[in-house]
Amino acid sequence: MQQVNLGMIGAGTVGGGVFHALHHNGDLMAARLGVRLVLSKIAVRSLDQSRPVAIPASLLTTDWREVVNDPEIHIVLELVGGTGIAKTMVLAALQQGKTVVTANKALLSAHGKELFATASKHGANLYYEASVCGGIPIIKSLREGLVANRFTSIYGIVNGTCNYILTRMKQEGADFAAVLTDAQKHGYAETPPDLDIDGCDAQSKTGILASLAHGFWVDPKSIHTEGIRDVAKIDMKFAQELGYTIKLLGIVKLAAERKAPARGELRIQVSVYPALIPSTHVLANVNHVFNAVFVRGDVVGDSLFYGRGAGRDATASAVLSDVADAALDLKNGTKVRVAPFVAHAKKARVLPLDEVVSRYYVRLSVVDRPGVLAKISAILAAAKIGISSVMQPEGHEGESVPLILMIHDATNAAMRKALIKIGKLPVVKARPVMFRVENLD
């Protein structure tokens, strides 16, 4: 049986999971693949540090170059994370024509264009299934399983921390701050939690999906990103009464054209924000730390990919699925059977958020007196923005009361400008809170 040697950089949570899974299921993989995978060298920061799993000292080195430069190592696994030294490691391996497997979403989001170009130049391949949604095979599905499709829309719940917080807020009627504190206590949220709750993690994953689906590299700076800090339990309550659930979504979809685009140009919305989605939709029932990606292809129609998006074992499973593909490619003499990234849409751009059209949920805190709604409606009417429904619940006392508006289709630019004016009204006592409504149809 042919042997393929692996070199791994990083033996933390994910690296430990890969070692553990390969130790327990290596024979199974060999029987299925006809290739024996041998983990022959592992680079770590320190030989003395404690690790999630026991790794023989004979495999360890503190010099990552011993992994990358070893001519007997066929596949390099980069599992250190970050965008600094990890980039140097990956480029060094690719420049030698070696296959690289990475779980590093931040690296791909920030430097993917350079990495894929380097891989192409040196006849190397770069696998990255584990960079998006852990154990869900969404990258392979988009690259291969759905290769015959143009993707009209992709909606992803791609951050387990945010989904866990929003799920508990809905199910328990709990405050954001209280659930976040509890999530940190149980290890579902980092300290500080900013990368998750401010949408940065979801931004990296959504950008990778958008780039892969539409064939042009999406600059992370072009992705409008909002987190979940503004979601309050009162919003969960009103959304539920209106037939919706609030989820943090990564959104990739072809824009509805309001004017003729440049000849042959695709305009793609790529965004991350909390949105109201119909409670009857399957994504509304993806709860706790689970991830899901809803894909609409022009040939296949609708598909849903669901599973654990993070954690040692889910991510290790994705890493080893890439290793298996890479090993088979090497066995069959086709190192780059499927290119890691193919730029097929030459005329495409990310649509600025101001040009995106959607419906809206707006929560205002207003003085409880006659004429308030008239003042707000006048501003919206002047902007040619229609109100579809109004809720002013009873039982709220004090200097201000909540006022909930559901808004018809409007551009983000029009809505943003109108809310600035509304926020300056003397009868409005707090910054307006706005969430977009996605019907997913």
SS3 35: strand
Note every long-range contact of 112-120, with CB atoms under 8 Å and residues 24 or more positions apart, other chains counting.
Answer: 112/208, 112/211, 112/217, 112/341, 113/217, 115/87, 115/90, 115/91, 116/217, 116/340, 116/341, 118/91, 118/94, 119/94, 119/340, 120/339
- The dihedral formed by the CA atoms of 126, 132, 138 and 142, expressed in degrees to the nearest 10: -50
Distance CA 266, CA 253 (A): 10
Q: Look up residue 206 and give its two tokens.
A: 């959504």
Question: What is d(CA 354, CA 356) in angstroms, rounded to the nearest whole number?
Answer: 6
Nearest to 250 by CA among 169, 312, 189, 309: 309
Spatial CA neighbour of 126 closest among 98, 105, 86, 96: 98
Euclidean distance between CA atoms 59 and 361, whole angstroms = 56
Whether 113 is a known active-site residue: answer: no
Residue 321 Cα distances to 1, 134, 309, 317, 362, angstroms: 19, 11, 15, 6, 44
Cα-based torsion angle of the residue sequence 15, 19, 22, 24 in order, rounded to the nearest 10 degrees: -130
Helix segments in 34-69, DSSP class H: 65-68
How far is it, in rounded angstroms, from Cα 356 to Cα 323? 39
At 35, which amino acid appears?
A: V
Q: What is the DSSP string of 230-297?
A: T--HHHHHHHHHTTEEEEEEEEEEEPPPSSPPSTT-EEEEEEEEEEEEETTSGGGG--TTEEEEEEEE
d(CA 345, CA 260): 18
- Residue 53 carries which DSSP code? S
Q: Which of 98, 170, 205, 247 is the catalytic position?
A: 205
The SS3 of residue 129 is: helix
Please state whether beta strands 433-437 and 401-411 pair in parallel, antiparallel, or not at all (unpaired): unpaired
Residue position matching structure tokens 């059209």: 357
Total Cβ atoms within 10 A of residue 171: 11
Active site residues: 205
